[in-house]
Chains A and B, each alone.
Chain A
Amino acid sequence: MYVYDEIDRTLVAERVAEFRDQVQRRLSGELTEEEFKPLRLMNGVYLQLHAYMFRVAIPYGTLSAPQLRKLAEVAQRYDRGYGHFTTRQNIQFNWIKLADLPDALAELAEVGLHAMQTSGNCTRNVTADQWGGVAPGEVEDPRLWAEILRQHTTLHPEFSFLPRKFKIAITASEHDRAAIKIHDIGLRLRRNEQGETGFEVLVGGGLGRSPFIAKTIKPFVAGRDLLSYVEAILRVYNQYGRRDNIYKARIKILVHELGIDKFAAEVENEWRQLAGGPLTLDDETIADIRSRFIYPDYPPLPDAKELLAQASASEPAFATWLANSVAPHKQPGYAIVTLSLKPVGAPPGDATAEQMAAIADLAERYSFSEIRVAHEQNLVLPHVAQRDLPELWHALEAIGVATPNVNLITDIIACPGLDYCSLANARSIPIAQQLTRRFSSAAAQALGQLHLNISGCINACGHHHVGHIGILGVEKNGEEYYQITIGGRADQKAQLGELLGPAVPFDQVADVIEDLVEAYRELRAGPQELFVDTVSRLGVEPFKERVYATRQ
């Protein structure tokens, strides 16, 4: 956990007081909606179809047990008893009343939570690998650098009125769990030949109406130069990014229009002015921030192979969960546990207040009081002793967060869609519900890793372009239709999916997905070949034939 200092606490408290005043002036009519909207957006407050939506920042997806408990309380007291964890490691409440917001913010501030950097045309909450600090083989905890960026960019006057929102993600492992290639800036921690820590810097990724995969503009930027280099990128963007057309305002369009080489040259030019200047991070500053990350003092434990084998033998359901949801930890004797927020028939990423409170308790008991939020809309207990796994599993089962479907076809990423969102064309959640009912646990296991992502409109909040299977809601003559893409991926080999064919109506989506999956089973080179690899080997055609042969 990162421990806030006095500056952070004062800032958060001042922010609450300021917003309380703004809300009061809005409710009294002193502020019009036009005047108030940018102010509420700076505090994570959107207006959706039926209510205000309130987005709370969870910097790099790390939560303490008291923070999660507080989120549960806010869900209970001010909302309808649940929250939605998002693809940017934040949480959203869907039913909050404007009049209650200042109180909710004040309660959150008690545990250091706030809504800064969750909306508006600023640098948004920096996201990082949810396994940061515990993944075996990572270069270094990426959250250290995410925190440095957070401190530098929060309320930064030059970066609070960018042409458009700006999202940064960091990974420190070979396997990219932070989807850095679909972010405005993607940072991959690495070491150079001299053993120095630094970053490969990618820019221009993003989804939405014009999706792009980020490209590398510099293979190595030393850690001490991170801020000056990011600032150089932001300055080039701030200067040339388009403000005349909201659809062309993201940095991806600028990178695309200038070309990656020209863009890189512009950044390099700008950086020459900044490099070595006051933004250079000295070792002391880095060490100070590092020292504020408190790591558990892991009591040494042996690996618990035998105990786990015994538990698996006597309880097949435990064995399935262990194989699916538990991953190796840096530390011998410990494990990383993913809590699936994708139970059969439920909205992906939602957790009830009771579940959040119970998970906070379990984190205290089994995970050194720490929880992580994964961009796949799941939660993680990052420091679990292997010998506690059987006990923990029972507890997780009891609260419905041990569905063994992590990374499987039913581990669906879905945006709120037309059930909540005022921009939606079609519903996302009911499609996800149908699919989790369609594919039984055994069927999903048999398919292996398969990412299915759903968005309710082209804004692509559900990352449909990079799902192995992507589903996009469109509207045709007032009816909900869905376009299906296949072959996308969000990891280190990120690429955009290809359109399968004409959109299909709501009622046919689950059948089409089943056909796709059947086609995969017939076409794959063997059970080891993942769906996405079969698509990349054979292309879209054979899948298309299969799906549309019987439909037109």
Chain B
Amino acid sequence: MTSPLQQKIKITGPSVVTANRTIDGVVVYRSADQRWATDLAEAAIVRDAPTARALLAEAAADDVGAVGAYIAPVLIAADGTVLPGNLREQIRRDGVSITLPSVR
């Protein structure tokens, strides 16, 4: 497995570090105060490759807390709200785009 830290880091806009929480797989984001947060609003925003690399390294070191950390794009709305940067990240934040069979 290539460690995320060995991968080339290229970012084109504001980004966050996201992963899945080890105990239950829930989507989490790395916060500025070095926690895993479930709310995207609490994610640390990085804007250039060196900062992104540092955040990723710090986050990936917490292997017990969360797995598969990577850098994901976000959009910042005019009012400052942080939004997922693509459909995949939107689905990760919001959950499946369908109604679950069990709640029909």
Interface residues of A (CB under 8 A from B): 26-29, 32-34, 37, 47-52, 75, 80-82, 97-99, 346-347, 350-353, 418-420, 424, 427, 429-430, 433, 478-480
Q: Which residue of the partner chain, among B63, B97, B101, contacts A33 with CB atoms under 8 Å? A: B63
Q: Does B34 contact A (CB under 8 A)?
A: no
Residues of A within 8 A of B95 (CB): 50
Task: Tell me the B16-44 residues at the A interface (CB within 8 Å).
Answer: 20, 22-27
Interface residues of B (CB under 8 A from A): 1, 20, 22-27, 63-64, 67-68, 86-88, 91-92, 95-98, 100-104
Contact yes or no, B1 A50, CB < 8 A: no
C-alpha gap A34/B2 in the complex (Å) = 10
C-alpha gap A37/B67 in the complex (Å) = 10
Contact yes or no, B92 A49, CB < 8 A: yes
The chain B residue with its CB closest to the CB of A427 is B97
Q: A80-B102, A97-B25 are in contact. Are A419 and B97 (CB under 8 A)?
A: yes
The chain A residue with its CB closest to the CB of B68 is A47
C-alpha gap A353/B102 in the complex (Å) = 8
Contact yes or no, A52 B102, CB < 8 A: no
Q: Which among B20, B22, B101 has the greatest number of chain A C-beta atoms within 10 A?
A: B101
Residues of B within 8 A of A37 (CB): 1
C-alpha gap A500/B22 in the complex (Å) = 43
| Closest beta carbon of chain B to A430's beta carbon, Å | 6
Contact yes or no, B101 A350, CB < 8 A: yes
Q: Which residue of the partner chain, among A33, A50, A347, A478, contacts B92 with CB atoms under 8 Å? A: A50
Contact yes or no, B88 A99, CB < 8 A: no
Contact yes or no, A97 B24, CB < 8 A: yes
C-alpha gap A391/B31 in the complex (Å) = 58
Q: A29-B64, A33-B63, A419-B98 are in contact. Are A51 and B104 (CB under 8 A)?
A: no
C-alpha gap A10/B20 in the complex (Å) = 34
* A-B contacts, CB under 8 A, total: 84
CB<8 Å pairs between A and B, sample of 16: A49-B91, A50-B20, A50-B25, A50-B26, A50-B27, A51-B20, A52-B25, A80-B102, A81-B100, A81-B103, A98-B23, A98-B24, A346-B104, A418-B87, A418-B88, A480-B87
| Closest beta carbon of chain A to B12's beta carbon, Å | 12
Residues of A within 8 A of B23 (CB): 27, 97-99
C-alpha gap A552/B103 in the complex (Å) = 41
Contact yes or no, A33 B22, CB < 8 A: yes
Residues of A within 8 A of B103 (CB): 81
Contact yes or no, A49 B88, CB < 8 A: yes
C-alpha gap A403/B96 in the complex (Å) = 25
C-alpha gap A28/B26 in the complex (Å) = 18
Residues of B within 8 A of A80 (CB): 100, 102
Contact yes or no, B87 A478, CB < 8 A: yes
| Closest beta carbon of chain B to A378's beta carbon, Å | 15
Contact yes or no, A346 B26, CB < 8 A: no
The chain B residue with its CB closest to the CB of A400 is B104
Contact yes or no, B25 A27, CB < 8 A: no
Q: A47-B67, A51-B26 are in contact. Are A430 and B100 (CB under 8 A)?
A: no
C-alpha gap A51/B19 in the complex (Å) = 11
C-alpha gap A478/B86 in the complex (Å) = 7
Contact yes or no, A98 B25, CB < 8 A: yes
Residues of B within 8 A of A433 (CB): 98
Residues of A within 8 A of B63 (CB): 29, 32-33
C-alpha gap A37/B68 in the complex (Å) = 11
C-alpha gap A430/B98 in the complex (Å) = 7
Residues of A within 8 A of B87 (CB): 418, 478-480
Contact yes or no, B101 A347, CB < 8 A: yes
Q: Which among A49, A420, A427 has the greatest number of chain B C-beta atoms within 10 A?
A: A49
